[in-house]
Structure 1
């Protein structure tokens, strides 16, 4: 039967599978076959019969728990192909995955969603450690929120092995559990000097992981980092890939990163390990978003040229352009010094930080050497001095660089100050109106979102905004809130008319919802919590009065708590003009309690009051394993009052010394704390406890009769500002540097009632 087009029909026996008349196939002679399969058994039979040039087509529909092994021996111009009947209409769900092994194989058109891999990889370019893929391609494939159920369970969505493979025009979005989204492995000679190509992929939004292990792309590992990979990464689009400090973690040699675009992505393209890599033609649009960075240079022989960086606000290791210090003669997993780097013809526009010698300390004492920094254009319209120098920079020659609206840095010559007027060109980049020698080329090709991924799968927004849906009006009555929650859609606002609402069941929030009081609205609850935020849920409260008077006489109640189990999706909590009172039926009654394995993108309290609370207002201390994990990225409190709070206003904990994350961030402004932290059950013995918080702003507040603050700095260069506050019968803050051995780095200024 070879030489004829074949199809497998539903319900056919193995003996009758090739009966062409039953399947509607043609009698046209052909060199190869196109086999439509509708069951896993039919797929296996078709694969066993496949020869170079054959096409195996999966029928449209959902394929549950399908662990695809696609192996075979194609030829250079006649690959064996696995594809979808209709691109995007073949769904791999449940516990499915794909392993490709052999020569000249091609996969396209599949979608992985509504499940997770039963192994450590969703797509792997190998069957096992001895059977790899070479000269093979995966294209036009989607992986969408295909996450392990447990947030800290590690897996990898794409893992490349072998040599001369290509991964292109794929749509990769929504990784929420720990683990690199995509990686290239060099763990055997058969995968080294691999010459892979990774191009035209859409790396869609990846939420903040809140720990190490959230890179979007890694090439190599520390163990093989002094081995060359020869991998090309080009024309990809990284859209808000916020997992951790390193968007791309390069850990091997002689790779090329060409013409990729990074859009509002936190972190940097990092030359973490490996020598002689090229970073050229990449574009970074920060648009002023927090922690957006550019390129971090480490190791020897790196070339960074013709890259464009605009609106980047990252600091320290996450700056717009960072040249690190290294460890002289250090072990393979540490930072090698920068030697013989060439950094030329890059443009930085309104990007806040160029860090030179970053990380300099007793261990990282190797300053850059034998390097060139030339013909770079730096424009900051606000005149900000963008340079921070941590060590001796005499090992870098600075030549023919141009600064606009900024004074030349004091540490070197090699910068000319010129009046530069920019205008935006057709490629979306800013260029000087007058010709100058510095900066990017006029013909730089910018990779846009539409140029990447697949054409048949939407690039949707990852976050549903509060109050973006319908308004649902309710009146007091038994079960009214539960019914409204069940019927509401994501982004809806449930408007409570005046009256008393007594809630006898948990209000489980699994979608973004707003509860807004209209007039005088009083809410009490009879369970150990009023709201429980589940994975996928976010909560906004506006204009409510919430009382604990009807709560059970138990220790450890909460008004709002997260799921008691790990949550894959980050949540948001927004409290506006809401009053909390009488949370004193028993000890340790908290307002907000976060469980281990849950993470808030942001928690905000504005214009609200809290009184007679026996526990903490915010209990964010459950990630106590000291692995660098924490419960919330941003905590912002403004224009609020806290009276008779037995526990701490906030117990905020991030342990360990890992430097892969940016947070936590804490802000307390224009608020009043009275009699906070004095209960015997308050183990912190503090009114505010911040352990490992990276950015702290406590300003323009009034503190009356409280326990002291306890601020413990643990890692990095934490920024703590305590300014313009009034302290009455409240001790001075206790600030401890736990690991650095340095004097306290916090800035205390213009505070009344304590010594500066």
Structure 2
């Protein structure tokens, strides 16, 4: 059969290699994508495929195979955390008893809709498979509103555990369980010990961290267990978790400073048990929101939560009679029992009550809960009839007010701090509600990929080196080009600085001068400073003068990138003087592009004089989809004179209820001869459309355009207080649903 001994040896070698590749427990090191594909194609039960350490660029891995419970097919990193998947890459798996571990996705994005997918096609799903000890870190599409999922679970009996998902910036759920075929329902998935790292505010719907199901399949059971995960500052939108299917369990998870809620948006028979919500008094931190039938919320610990309405510590919603599948089902036969709510502000009942959401909760109970807080002594807000909720055996501090005649025992306010730093009521009170002790069910260190660091605090200004900058032409730009994140460029008092080149800011930087005469910055470019992705700017004790700007319309002091930015930015202006932005019309202080988002815009103790454009014009999201351009605006103790445009024009259109802001504070300012320019389309000195939290207090208007309000959905909190308006048009609003107190309006 064989013509020579040499041929026989070659055949024997080939057989040996094939057997070796498929042999149980054999480690097959692959060094490139071709070898990886070949190894996957030849894999048998027990095969272990090892990806060599290093960077793998532009790889779309399809991991297919059929292992057994005792002999899985494994795809792993040579060293956990040393295999980096970069560029346009992703991973999909299908088959039985597969396991993936140790991979890091970074420096890129998926070319498809998912980064890690438990299917390779609509028909080919993964079952009884596991992804563990992997990382996805800032693996983002550059366009803010191009949507993708980082992890999509399909099939049945899969596990996703000990993974780290950090820094999703673009639209789309971080992780989703999909139920769009019968083969993915009643799935019994396990999602446990994962670290869901910080997610910035998207400023739009579509920023959930975890979603199980969708509205279309909301009457379907998923039976997914979500247990012992750590949700760290997951602030994408007000649904941190969006439950949209039935028979799911959320047990022993920790939510740390997350500006959202665990929301039972759809689905029945949800169990929410033993979870810890630690708000630390951060704004808009929320707890648990109850919608639909047969839900159980028990033995959860909720501390330091400040969110209101849909973002309260505990929220029970009104429903829509005969609700369409995508709206709000009535709360029926649901239980809230044995929970501990401390140092938190709001418990909302029959929330969302309006002409459409008129179906009040029925057959439900609020039993044996402890509410212990002095941060708000009227913690309950009742929006509609709650006779369908029975109240029994609850405990509340005796100086708090409650709108119920029975069902609550009042006790002296008493909280102590335990060894874990948690505020706890007296042990005797805990025993009354059947809770043995207050202790975190899982620590941050126990979650996520074992080798990968957890992010620290968000980057801030003034955390780096101080760089002294000599006066002159482009010396400021040259110093910036040598700077790093958080550095301070310190200018000389009273000296001149000229910019003649594009000044593109791509990290956080402070430009300041010591107390004394302000240094003067001028520019011969259309914008003094361009804030690019990753950038942010703080100006302190600086004078900006428009005298050298080009004689053309549309100049600005600060502009954002003209492209979509998937990183939120900050702009702080403190103790500054901005003058003579008047070389041509429409000279704005800040000029933004669509699909850019500021975390915070601050003007404090500053003076603006003679500006032909606007100061903050934040109205580029015109689709009316609830998208907006800034979360927090603070204008305080400053003066504005001869501003032809609006000092602030902030727009949030549409009726979407998935976001928190904008949040605006305007206090202690003077406005003189402002808002009166022919090109000011707002016809206002300040215009706020759809702002969700607005405080305008202790300001003085003189000979200026009016303050204009357009109040939309979401029960916006609008307070106009202690203002003086002289010959300034007063307050113009589309309705009177705002609080006006002690304002003086005169001709």
- Report the TM range for the smaller structure's normalisation: over 0.9
Does the Cα contact within 8 Å between 2:243 and 2:263 map onto a contact in 1? yes
Matched, 1:80 2:73: yes
Where in structure 2 are the equivalents of 1:50-65 lying within 5 Å?
50-65=43-58
Matched, 1:171 2:169: no
The corresponding residue for 1:511 is: 507
* Partner deviation per Cα, 1:622-655 (whole Å, 9 max, x = no partner): 1111111111000101110000000000111111
What is the SS of the residue equivalent to 2:708? strand
Shift of 1:182: 0.2
- Within 2, Cα distance between the matches of 1:442 and 1:253? 30
What is the SS of the residue equivalent to 1:111? strand
Does the Cα contact within 8 Å between 2:312 and 2:346 map onto a contact in 1? yes
- Within 2, Cα distance between the matches of 1:584 and 1:61? 55
Aligned with 1:124 (options 96, 114, 117): 117
- Within 1, Cα distance between the matches of 2:274 and 2:692? 33
Which segments of 5 or more consecutive residues in structure 1 lack a partner in the other structure?
1-12, 21-26, 738-743
Does the Cα contact within 8 Å between 2:22 and 2:44 map onto a contact in 1? no
Where in structure 2 are the equivalents of 1:150-169 lying within 5 Å?
150-169=143-162
Cα 1:44–1:701 shift into 2, 3 Å:
same
Where in structure 2 are the equivalents of 1:385-404 lying within 5 Å?
385-404=378-397
The corresponding residue for 2:436 is: 441
Does the Cα contact within 8 Å between 1:347 and 1:439 map onto a contact in 2? no
Does the Cα contact within 8 Å between 1:343 and 1:372 map onto a contact in 2? yes
What is the SS of the residue equivalent to 1:668? strand
The corresponding residue for 1:3 is: none
The corresponding residue for 1:591 is: 589
Aligned with 1:494 (options 478, 489, 492): 489
Shift of 1:77: 1.5
Where in structure 2 are the equivalents of 1:596-615 lying within 5 Å?
596-615=594-613
- Within 1, Cα distance between the matches of 2:12 and 2:134? 33
Does the Cα contact within 8 Å between 1:345 and 1:440 map onto a contact in 2? yes
Q: In angstroms, what is the RMSD of aligned CA positions?
A: 1.9
Shift of 1:383: 5.8
Runs of 4 or more, structure 1, over 6 Å off, are: 13-20, 27-30
Shift of 1:19: 9.1
- Within 2, Cα distance between the matches of 1:688 and 1:515? 28
The corresponding residue for 1:745 is: 737
What TM-score, normalized by structure 2, do the two folds share? Answer: 0.96
Aligned with 1:106 (options 99, 106, 115): 99
The corresponding residue for 2:402 is: 409
What TM-score, normalized by structure 1, do the two folds share? Answer: 0.95
Matched, 1:555 2:553: yes
The corresponding residue for 1:706 is: 704
What is the SS of the residue equivalent to 1:128? coil
Shift of 1:451: 1.0
Shift of 1:55: 0.5
- Within 2, Cα distance between the matches of 1:166 and 1:237? 16
- Within 2, Cα distance between the matches of 1:478 and 1:253? 65
What is the SS of the residue equivalent to 2:324? coil
Does the Cα contact within 8 Å between 2:427 and 2:437 map onto a contact in 1? no
- Within 1, Cα distance between the matches of 2:693 and 2:59? 46
- Within 2, Cα distance between the matches of 1:56 and 1:320? 47
Cα 1:364–1:61 shift into 2, 3 Å:
same
- Within 2, Cα distance between the matches of 1:15 and 1:43? 23
Does the Cα contact within 8 Å between 1:408 and 1:417 map onto a contact in 2? no
The corresponding residue for 2:311 is: 318
Where in structure 2 are the equivalents of 1:665-704 lying within 5 Å?
665-704=663-702
Matched, 1:715 2:713: yes
- Within 2, Cα distance between the matches of 1:355 and 1:685? 38
Q: How many residues align?
A: 732
- Within 1, Cα distance between the matches of 2:449 and 2:334? 37
Aligned with 2:129 (options 133, 136, 140): 136
- Within 2, Cα distance between the matches of 1:383 and 1:419? 15
What is the SS of the residue equivalent to 2:310? helix
Which segments of 5 or more consecutive residues in structure 2 lack a partner in the other structure?
1-9
* Partner deviation per Cα, 1:115-171 (whole Å, 9 max, x = no partner): 000000000000111000000000000000000010000000000000000000000
Shift of 1:328: 1.5
Cα 1:649–1:75 shift into 2, 3 Å:
same
- Within 1, Cα distance between the matches of 2:89 and 2:123? 22
The corresponding residue for 2:82 is: 89
Where in structure 2 are the equivalents of 1:250-265 lying within 5 Å?
250-265=243-258
What is the SS of the residue equivalent to 1:663? coil
Aligned with 2:474 (options 461, 465, 479): 479
Shift of 1:478: 2.6
Shift of 1:372: 1.2
The corresponding residue for 2:724 is: 726
Shift of 1:709: 1.3
Where in structure 2 are the equivalents of 1:29-428 lying within 5 Å?
31-382=24-375, 384-407=377-400, 409-428=402-421
- Within 1, Cα distance between the matches of 2:590 and 2:424? 49
Shift of 1:441: 3.3
Shift of 1:60: 0.5
Does the Cα contact within 8 Å between 1:354 and 1:387 map onto a contact in 2? yes
